Amino acid sequence: MIGERIKQLRKQKSLTQKELAEALGVDRSSIGKYETGTLPSSEIVLKAAEFFGVSVDNLYGRDGHILEAENDAERELLVMFRKTEGIPEEKRKEITEYIGSTIDMYLKAIGASSEDGSKG
C-alpha cells in the first residue's frame, strides 16, 4: 500500500525514481523496491511524508478525514477500532456493523435519531 502511494505521489510531481531517491537520500533502486512492496524504514517514511507534504497516515493509505476526530468519544472509538488492524477485512466489517447496530439500538432506546444523534 505505501509503495503504491509513494509511486502515485512521485508521478503527480512528475519525478523520476532517481529524483525522488536524491530528495530522500537513498539509492534509486531503493525507490523501485519501495514501489514494488519493500517497506521503507520509518525514517524514510517520515522524510517522504515531509517531502510530499502529506501525513504518514496518508502514505499508508488511511483516509485522513477519519483521523480528525471532533471530540473525545470519536477519538476513543478510533483507538478501539485501530485494535482490529491485522485481522481480515471481513471480520473488521463485522465489528463495524456490530458497533453501528449497538449505537442505533441505544439511540432508539433513548428516543434519539441515529441520523443526527438528536431527540427524534
38-91 pLDDT tens trace: 999 999 999 998 998 888 888 887 755 444 557 778 778 877 887 887 888 899
> 98 is in which domain, residue-wise?
69-110
Q: Are both 14 and 47 inside the same structural domain? A: yes
Q: Examine residue 115 and state whether it is found in any structural domain, yes or no.
A: no
**Same-domain pairing of 30 and 43:** yes
Is residue 83 domain-resident?
Answer: yes
Has residue 85 been placed in a domain?
yes
Number of domains in the chain: 2
Nearest to 20 by CA among 71, 57, 59: 59
Is 120 within the bounds of a domain?
no
- CA dihedral 99→105→109→114, nearest 10 degrees, is 80
User: Do 77 and 101 share a structural domain?
Assistant: yes
Asked whether residue 119 is domain-assigned, the answer is: no
SS3 42: helix
Q: Are residues 94 and 48 in the same domain?
A: no
pLDDT digits (tens, 9 = 90+) for 15-38: 999 999 999 999 999 999 999 989
**Residue 117 domain-assigned?**
no
> Does 8 share its domain with 55?
yes
Same domain, 39 and 92: no
The pTM for the full model equals 0.53
Based on the domain organization, do 84 and 54 belong to the same domain? Answer: no
pLDDT at 119 over 50: no
Q: What is the dihedral of CA 95, 93, 73, 82, to 10 degrees?
A: 90
Position with higher pLDDT, 96 vs 74: 96
Q: Does the pLDDT at position 116 exceed 60?
A: no
Q: Are residues 40 and 6 in the same domain?
A: yes
